[in-house]
Structure 1
Amino acid sequence: NIPATASGLPEGVHKGPQLPDGSYQVSATGPVYRGPGAPATGPRHHYMFEVYALDTKLDVQPTADAFETRANVLKAMQGHILGKAVYGGLFRRPQ
């Protein structure tokens, strides 16, 4: 639920599930965005960010399981998607 008026995503937001604008941050390890975490050795990790434009605000609360939360969000989005963008990147921590 990033507001339609948002023109960017700020750095350094507080840790916790709900942000002041009403949006949520969730990762596979808890209620916080961690960013890329690939090690310095080995292959680069692939990261995919999916952004959807919806015609409604969703009322889906995060669960203890990030994968369940994702499934709930995708289900709630059905019939409300106006557009979608995917941004992919590769990352490996500098040595």
Structure 2
Amino acid sequence: MTLTLTSQAFRQNGEIPAQHTCQGADVSPPLEWSGVPPNTKSLALIVDDPDAPDPAAPKITWVHWVLYNIPPTATRLPHGATAQALPGGTLEGINDFRRAAYSGPCPPVGRHRYFHKLYALDTVLPDLKGPNKAALERAMQGHVLTHAELIGTYQKR
């Protein structure tokens, strides 16, 4: 069985609805997954934009959401997931907006791609005290069993 990640809000390579962006309510889209390997101890989620600031000349990957220690029994994150709505034990890292929360697409120019990456890990990570993406990726090294990716796009109107 393969790890898969989907959303009821948008399809693979489809447009992310405005309600999940800075031009709307800026709430997280619902995410669902299946195919978690049986030896998974935790899951991690990173949402980022490799097209910042301009898809014609990208310079950085902008991070929108960092979650880890999601229980392997969890199968979804609800629409508008706040810290209180996350599965028990889930910890949040710091995004590039300097927040421990979801911050949606807000591209300054052009149509950007937003990568929602779910990782199955063979361990429960220690409390990393609000890690950024790089710190989480370092902690995950050697522990990734598999991963799934869902890409959405957005351009300001």
Cα deviation digits, residues 16-43 of structure 1 (max 9, x gap): 8xx562222532111110122236xx52
Work out whether 1:31 is the aligned partner of 2:94. no
Cα deviation digits, residues 41-85 of structure 1 (max 9, x gap): x5211111211100111112215xxxxx21111111111110011
Task: Write 1 or 2 for the structure with the bigger share of strand.
Answer: 2
Percent of aligned pairs sharing the same letter: 39
Q: 1:4 to 1:22 in 2, by over 3 A?
A: same
2:116 touches 2:151 (CA, 8 Å); kept in 1? yes
1:44 touches 1:92 (CA, 8 Å); kept in 2? yes
CA distance in 1, matches of 2:73, 2:81: 18
Give the letter for the 2:123 counterpart. T
Work out whether 1:5 is the aligned partner of 2:73. yes
Of 44, 66, 82, the residue aligned with 1:14 is 82
Q: Which position in structure 2 is the counterpart of 1:54?
A: 121
1:53-72 to 2 correspondence within 5 Å?
53-59=120-126, 60-63=128-131, 69-72=132-135
Work out whether 1:73 is the aligned partner of 2:136. yes
1:54 touches 1:77 (CA, 8 Å); kept in 2? yes
CA distance in 2, matches of 1:20, 1:61: 18
| Contiguous gaps of at least 5 residues in structure 1 | 64-68
Q: Which position in structure 2 is the counterpart of 1:66?
A: none
CA distance in 2, matches of 1:13, 1:82: 25
Of 86, 89, 95, the residue aligned with 2:152 is 89
Aligned residue pair count? 85
CA distance in 2, matches of 1:89, 1:11: 15
Give the root-mean-square deviation of aligned CA atoms: 2.2
| Contiguous gaps of at least 5 residues in structure 2 | 1-68
